Amino acid sequence: MSRVPWRIATALASGAVFGFGLSLSGMLNPARVHAFLDIFGAWDPSLAFVLGGAVIVALLGVRIMHRLPHPVLDDRFHLPTNRRIDVPLVLGSALFGIGWGLGGFCPGPALASLSMGMTSPLIFVGAMLVGMLAYDRLLGK
């Protein structure tokens, strides 16, 4: 059997587990994100625990990755080569943070919310897609 169907199935399963985890942790609720960012009001630290858990899982994954000769479903790891902190990186990070703070969503939870039939992230996802297309057309390589 070809590797391509396995890649697609693995990507779908990974996305489903990620979306389930976001739903289970309550991260599909933009009010929870806003409460986390409201450090001088009714601050809700629960997002910090979700983020901390994600960092721990990612660190374990990276440590395991460095011990493997290649991924299971590919010939090599596709890692970023640019390690510079430059203006586009800082501006992109700032735009991400502004969008996250205003909308209460980042891309993963927004798409997971749509997959569950929620309509609240429709404007966010639409704006995100327009931004992605604009970047691709104007600045993409």
Indicate whether this model's pTM tops 0.75: no
pLDDT digits (tens, 9 = 90+) for 47-80: 899 889 989 999 999 999 999 999 888 889 999 8
Instruction: Give the pLDDT confidence score for residue 3 in this predicted structure.
Output: 63
The full DSSP string for 41-94 is: SS--THHHHHHHHHHHHHHHHHHHHHHSSS-TTSSS----------HHHHHHHH
Where the chain has pLDDT below 50, the residues are 1
